[in-house]
Amino acid sequence: MKNLITFREIKIEDAKILLNWRRKKRISEFQFTDINNSLVNQKKWIKNSYNNNNYYHWMILLKKKPIGFFNINNIDIMKKKASWAWYIGSDKHISLGGFIPPYFYNWVFSFLNIDKLDIFVFTKNTNVIKIHNIHGYKAYKKKYFIKKNKKKISYIKMYLLKKNWNFDMYKKYDTKFPISLWKTNIISIKNEKEKN
């Protein structure tokens, strides 16, 4: 997969493909919020992301063609923690889902110097839970619930520590997550903290 999988920043013109992906049943059923079928709102959401210190996102590319979506959120540089989410939007590339996160772990643990990643997963999303277990995640014992479409849905919170990530095993999963459009002070905070 080396050099075949890359990431690029989300652009305004990606709004339509993202909206179509996010409204697919196999994707929306595992998301915490449903969205309206509004291209205007989707474009506004993308535009606002460039100025958001707690959130950013990328398009997952296979041979330079979009196949999915990746984001980082709840970023706390001072406490060295964050959470994230992803999905494969292209139906014919679903099987690649488990190969995507290691690229992010290598980048976020090294470049952003994050020590802990959290992720929230619906308990019925067993395939994703298995992927996280393979990558070294541990689950908190507490069970959480949300109301979605008038139904009570259970989910779990899992975490991965930098010290438990197997850099050697996954060293070939090496690529950049570009941030040239991200008007954030996160990088300056990171650099300042490293000086002290």
**Contact assessment for residue 26 and residue 93, using Cβ atoms and an 8 Å cutoff:** no
Q: Please check whether residue 108 is in contact with residue 116, taking contact to mean a CB–CB distance below 8 angstroms.
A: no
pLDDT in tens, 102-149: 999 999 999 999 999 999 999 999 999 999 999 999 999 888 998 888
* Cβ count near 8 (within 10 Å): 17
Residue in this structure with the two tokens 């994707």, named with its chain if needed: 27
Beta bridge partners of 69: 59, 87
Q: How many domains does the chain have?
A: 1
- Give me the mean pLDDT over the 183-187 stretch: 77
Q: CA 144 → CA 39, 99, 114, 131, 181, distances in Å?
A: 32, 27, 25, 20, 35
> What domain range includes position 48?
5-195
Instruction: Look up the CATH number of the domain holding residue 158.
Output: 3.40.630.30
Burial pattern 53-79, b for ≥16 Cβ within 10 A else e, equals: eebbbbbbbbeeebbbbbbbeebebee
Per-residue pLDDT tens digits for 12-64: 999 999 999 999 989 888 887 777 888 999 999 999 999 999 999 999 999 99
